[in-house]
Structure 1
Amino acid sequence: MEVLVVGASGATGRLLVADLLARGHRVRAVLRAKSSLPEALRQHPDLSLTEASLLVLSDAELMRLVAGCDAVASCLGHTLSVKGIYGAPRRLVTDATRRLCDAIRANAPQQPVKFVLMNTSGNRNRDLNERISLAQKAVIALLRLVLPPHVDNEAAAEYLRLAIGQNDPQIEWAVVRPDALVDHPEISAIEAHPSPIRSAIFNAGKISRINVAHFIADLITRDEQWQRWRGRMPVIYNDMRDQTANISQPQPARV
């Protein structure tokens, strides 16, 4: 299997690249700096690296990147800095999703290409009746006003849900919604749910980045997992029954 990973220099993207390679798959990775990957990973014979900002690439370059790929995974996100939150590009995730999907369609693949978008549990799946409290609605409304990345993540998921939809002959998709991200060196048990089981704002759960990467890799490579979540937006948490200890404190959720 050939997989394109964008946002491969990020904390989760690097782990996804490593997971896919460990499973024996070929990976193409787009990242701003090759040095952000460990040397051993950079030298892997099944890894092809493109050092670039994705949105700077031309349509023809994007078509070449996705040509022959069975799946595309986007781990793109805005850095948690003033420039990353309020600077350009404000629609990084949405524009990347749209342009990658356009490139897939332009290649006219014979079989549907899987598109997996890493998103956030703070984003609702509007195909489902996901109830949230008035207080959480108020906070999310405020986030839309003051944090452009939150709007970007919402719009990217909506593009897949509405513009691609459930019956596109060339693209199938899933949007992965992790809760509060933490770091842990080992893969552990997780819970995956169609909708949040706790408030992403007032009672966020934990999910380790390595578990997010492993879940995305399972989606891409395991057909039964893909058929379960295709066209859906699973919310994932570390399994609360798993007592493998000393996970670091949660980092701020991706906005």
Structure 2
Amino acid sequence: MKVLVLGASGATGKLVVFQLLQRRIAVKQVVREPAVLHPLIIENPLVEIERGNIDSFSQQKVQELLDDCGAAVCCLGHRTTIRGIFGKPHRLVIHAVQKVTTAMEALSCSQKLILMSTTAYTNKQDGEKNRFGEALVLSILKVLLPPHRDNMLAADFLVHRIGTRGAFSWVAVRPDTLIDAENPSEYELFSHTNRSPVFNAGKTSRINVAACMAELLTDEQLWEQWKYKTPVLYNKLG
């Protein structure tokens, strides 16, 4: 298997690349032009590097990138700067998901797609509901913060527009508050949030997000359990 990783130079995306390589899985990574990559990545024969902005790639280009891949992982996000939050592109993630899913439909093969989402996304189709205070805060964020709105649109696109009808299958992994950790630890996957993402958020290490995504792609039983779903990922409390 070869995996296309979008956002491969980001804080979580680069960990996904390392986790896949540890499992001897070939990676085709898309990184921004100025991204500085680890020498172990540059020199690894299992790695192909494509520099550029996915938002500017044509549909044909995205299809060509996916042509020899069995899966794609989208870890795209907006930079946590004023320009990154309020500047263009406002719909980086949703546009990438639309391009990838369109390409997968055109290729008509049983590829897999993993989207890094967030517990701030509420999967209403699966019966999730927010309390009044949570709904109010999340609604305000959706209006005021373009990156939050972008993430919500991307997950909604998979849940409501793609559903189970595609030629491919997908999983949207929802970590809670992201933290840094050196090594993977025990984590848990839940079908619904079991704590408030606004008033009682949990923690999820980026390395656990990466490890979980790699496990989903390599463990067929785990994939069958969670495909077409939006599992919530928390670090396991010791």
Bin of the TM-score, shorter chain as denominator length:
over 0.9
Tell me which residue corresponds to 1:233. 230
**Cα separation, 2, equivalents of 1:84 and 1:100:** 23
Q: d(CA) in 2 for partners of 1:193 and 1:15?
A: 22
Asked if 1:120 corresponds to 2:118, the answer is yes
Q: For 1:197-236, what aligned pairs fall within 5 Å after superposition?
A: 197-236=194-233
* Percent identity (aligned): 37
Does the Cα contact within 8 Å between 1:34 and 1:49 map onto a contact in 2? no
After TM superposition, the structure 1 = structure 2 runs for residues 63-78 of structure 1, keeping only pairs within 5 Å, are: 63-78=63-78
Q: Which runs of 5+ in 2 are unaligned?
A: none
Q: Which residue of 2 aligns with 1:244?
A: none
1:151 corresponds to which residue?
149
Deviation of the 1:9 alpha carbon: 0.6
Name the counterpart of 2:85: 85
Work out the number of aligned pairs and report it.
238
CA–CA distance in structure 1, aligned partners of residues 100 and 34 of structure 2: 21
RMSD: 1.1
Normalising by structure 2, we get a TM-score of 0.97
**Match of residue 9 from structure 2:** 9
What's the CA shift for 1:194? 0.5
Q: Is contact 1:207–1:237 with CA below 8 Å preserved after alignment?
A: yes
Q: Report the TM-score, using the length of structure 1 for normalisation.
A: 0.91
Mapped partners of 1:190, 1:158: distance in 2: 25
Q: Secondary structure in 2 aligned to 1:127?
A: helix
Secondary structure class of the residue paired with 1:29:
strand
8 Å contact 1:2–1:71 — kept in the other structure? yes
Partner SS for 2:72: strand
Aligned: 1:60 with 2:60: yes
8 Å contact kept, 2:8–2:31: yes
CA contact (8 A) 2:189 2:234 kept: yes
Separation in 2, partners of 1:134, 1:34: 43
The AA in structure 1 aligned to 2:144 is V
Residue segments in structure 1 that go unaligned for 5+ positions in a row: 242-255
Q: Name the amino acid aligned to 1:69.
A: C
Letter in 2 for 1:208: S
SS in 1 for 2:125: coil
